[in-house]
Amino acid sequence: MTEALRADCGRCFGLCCVALPFTASADFAVDKKAGTPCPNLGGDHRCGIHAQLRQEGFTGCTVYDCFGAGQQVSQVVFGGRDWRTGPPERARQMFDVFPVVRQLHELLRYLTEALALAPARPLHAELRALLTETEGLTGRPPEELLALDVAAHRQRVNVLLLRASELARAGDRGRRKNRRGADLMGARLKGADLRGADLRGAYLIAADLTGADLRGADLIGADLRDTDLTDADLTGAVFLTQPQLEAARGSAGTRLPASVTRPAHWTARLG
């Protein structure tokens, strides 16, 4: 992943801590309306409890990733103008633009990964063209971004990503099960053979995937909240993101693709 798709909070005006709403739950300790600063946000746009988010009841913050949209909106779209120092209208516009650019950056992350898939080489020209187009959209003026039909653009990207995924998984020797969008909440899948499986958008909340073979599986959009990935093999899994792993449970024995890193809380939780 390029540096532009990594969150750089030092170049952002704490947009995710202001623009987005959250509700008191297992993920957040308090309610917060969209456009209202989080009570933990300091005047320097830094989180006052960043090192203790999980302990303080803000697990939801630890599994969020803007994919670099924060600094793009702060430094490029709005030219480094802080929402705190400008008119209220500009602040509201920044907060509305942020989730739009965040969606575009997420698509850029997937397109970048698809371009790294050797079996998808026949699609590389199309992928590169759509990547360039999407990058161009992220720098448009606020008014154009707010008028953008993000859903339509996402659908165009998704069609190409699906084709890339199918090419990448075509050579897998597993049974390539189709579990797209499946309700697998709490499912007992310990040791399951899910090599090359299509798990796009699957609900795997609290599922037991201990020791499961997920090599080459497509995990785009899969809900991995509290999923047990202890000793599972996700080598070569496609479109797996860091936020998905941060929401899951795992161990030192969990094997991961090079595109992601082992969450620090896995070691702390499972000792």
- When pLDDT is averaged across residues 244-265 and rounded to a whole number, the result is 94
> Whole-angstrom Cα distance, residue 196 to residue 169?
5
pLDDT at 174: 59
For residue 271, the model assigns a pLDDT of 38
Question: pLDDT for 56-68, tens place per residue?
Answer: 999 999 999 999 9
Q: Which amino acid is residue 161, in one-letter code?
A: L
Please say if the pLDDT value at position 269 is more than 60.
Answer: no
Write out pLDDT tens, residues 65-83.
Answer: 999 999 999 999 999 999 9
CA distance 176 to 52: 40
Model confidence at 1: pLDDT above 80: no
Percent of the chain with pLDDT over 90: 90
Q: In which region does residue 181 sit, left (phi positive, over 0), alpha (psi from -120 to 50) or beta (all else)?
A: left
Q: List, for residues 185-237, the tens digit of each pLDDT value.
A: 999 999 999 999 999 999 999 999 999 999 999 999 999 999 999 999 999 99
Cα 158 vs. chain centroid, distance in angstroms?
15
Phi/psi of residue 180, each to 5°? -60, 125
pTM of the model: 0.92
Structure tokens that stand for 79 in this block: 């030219």
Read off the pLDDT of residues 139-198 as tens digits, 9 standing for 90 and up.
999 999 999 999 999 999 999 999 999 999 987 765 668 899 999 999 999 999 999 999
What is the mean pLDDT of the segment spanning 42-47? 92
Q: Which long-range contacts (C-beta less than 8 Å, at least 24 apart) are formed by 199-208?
A: 200/162, 200/165
Q: Which DSSP state fits 76? A: I
Digit-coded pLDDT (tens) for 94-130: 999 999 999 999 999 999 999 999 999 999 999 999 9
Q: 174, 178, 213: which is closest to 192 by C-alpha?
A: 213
The distance of Cα 7 from the centroid of its chain, to the nearest Å, equals 11
pLDDT, tens digit, 9 for 90 and up, residues 259-268: 899 998 896 4
Q: H or E stretch including 127?
A: helix 124-137
Distance between CA 226 and CA 207 in Å, rounded?
A: 7
Smallest CA-to-CA distance from 113 within 252, 10, 240 is with: 240
Question: Does residue 201 contact residue 224 with C-beta atoms inside 8 Å?
Answer: no
Band of pLDDT at residue 270, cut at 50, 70 and 90? very low
